[in-house]
Amino acid sequence: MSETHTLLSAALGKLHSGVLIIDRDRHISFINQWLLQALRDPALEYQERPLLDVLPEIADTRLYKCICQALDKGLPAVLSPSLNPSPLPLFNGRADDPERQPMIQSLQVIPLRQQGLNHCMIAVNDLSSTMRRENLLKVQAEKLSQQSLTDDLTSIANRRRLNLVLEEEVRRAGRTQKPLSVILVDIDHFKAYNDRFGHLAGDACLIRVAQSLQERVVRAGDLLARYGGEEFCVILPDTDSEAAHAVAEALRHKIAALNLPHPDSSCATNVSISLGVATGLAGVAETATGLLLKADNALYRAKQRGRNCSVSHVQITACGD
């Protein structure tokens, strides 16, 4: 028996995880070497001392309640690092390192009640590096999901994000019975601009236009997205046709004010845009695709009317042309 005892405590002493055994009176019956080294002061005497005398910080914690529950009721418990990062005052690294970091732990509180025993064992694992790895994974995953919704060139929302947001806004408009407007924006004669100045200048022009449009699309809930090559789309929740048309004109003036020379344009001397506005009216069932089609239709009319102008879908239907 005594040889087994020596053998077991030698084995527990070599473990790379912590073992702490508490008796019925909440005294420490055993603490292994690994756990001792991770405590703030490994030189203190822990064996046979009351748990709360040597680790007063754990009084009133979930861990202490779990220890009592294990001793009094025989119920085991787990303490996960996401819900309780550092239940025991344990640290990574050497005890004499003044910048020791708190250890992120996973704990199991296990009742030991066989053969007249009434103890509980706390098994401790160091999950600091696992936690770091998982946080890294989370950051990466967030970045990826962000990227998949952003346009690489202009850093505004991409078509995918536009579709997601528009679907949601159409549903919301249906629920709240409020008007919802979209504006399609097209840079006039962009192909000619690219042909004259080259693709790099073309890209730079797209970035300038996107930034400039974004400055005017700032209301919470509004969204500017890149719709296609030189096409952009603006979603304006809770905005009626008249207000949306005013936004469209403001956007047109903003781009004109950029004064980006465009000698091959037939409709202006500088880079200009054409816009098509469509509004889903309150109380009228509308789909995202239906709304975009109407805006596209209005944009087509704007181009027919000589570009560098904006047309609302309601104007088309009202004039009957």
Partner 1 sequence: MLEMTPLELDALGEIFNISVGRAAASLSELTHEVVSMSVPLVHILSPQKAVELLDPDNRLRITSVSQQFSGSFSGKALLMFPGSNSLEVVRLMLGAEMPLDQLTEMEQDAMSEIGNIILNTCFSTIADMLSESFDCELPCFQIASIEDLLDARNSQSKVLFVQIQLALEQRNLEGYVAFMLGDSSLLNLQHAINHFLDGTISP
Catalytic residue numbers?
A: 230
Q: Is 175 in the site for partner 1 (CB under 8 A)?
A: no
The first and second tokens of residue 3, run together, are: 């040889």
- Show the site string, 187-216: x = touches partner 1 by CB under 8 A, - = not: ------------------------------
Q: Is 138 in the site for partner 1 (CB under 8 A)?
A: yes
**With 0-12 CB in 10 A as exposed, 13-18 as middle and 19+ as buried, what is 279?**
buried
CB burial of 238-270 (b: ≥16 within 10 Å; e: otherwise) equals bbbbeebbebbeebbeebbeeebebeebeeeeb
Q: Is 78 in the site for partner 1 (CB under 8 A)?
A: yes
**300, 278, 249, 164 alpha-carbon torsion, rounded to 10°:** -100
Contact with partner 1 (CB under 8 A): which of 13, 56, 74, 102? Answer: 74
- Show the site string, 105-124: x = touches partner 1 by CB under 8 A, - = not: -x-x-xx-x-----------
User: With the C-alpha atoms ordered 142, 143, 144, 147, is the resulting torsion angle positive or negative?
Assistant: positive
Q: Name the amino acid, one letter, at 282.
A: A
Smallest gap from residue 69 Cβ to partner 1 (A): 7
Q: Is 80 in the site for partner 1 (CB under 8 A)?
A: yes
Q: Is 310 in the site for partner 1 (CB under 8 A)?
A: no
Greatest CA separation for the chain = 103
Pick the closer one to partner 1 by CB: 77 or 182.
77
Q: Is 266 in the site for partner 1 (CB under 8 A)?
A: no
Rg (Cα) of the chain, in Å, rounded? 34
Contact with partner 1 (CB under 8 A): which of 6, 47, 101, 145? Answer: 145
Pick the closer one to partner 1 by CB: 106 or 312.
106
Contact with partner 1 (CB under 8 A): which of 79, 183, 235, 302? Answer: 79
Smallest gap from residue 163 Cβ to partner 1 (A): 18
Q: Is 284 in the site for partner 1 (CB under 8 A)?
A: no
- Reading phi first (left if > 0) and then psi (alpha if -120 to 50, else beta), residue 240 is in beta
Residues 6+ apart with CB under 8 A from 19: 12, 30, 31, 32, 34, 35, 121, 122, 123, 124
- Interface residues toward partner 1, by CB under 8 A: 62, 69, 73-84, 106, 108, 110-111, 113, 127, 130-131, 134, 137-138, 141-142, 144-145
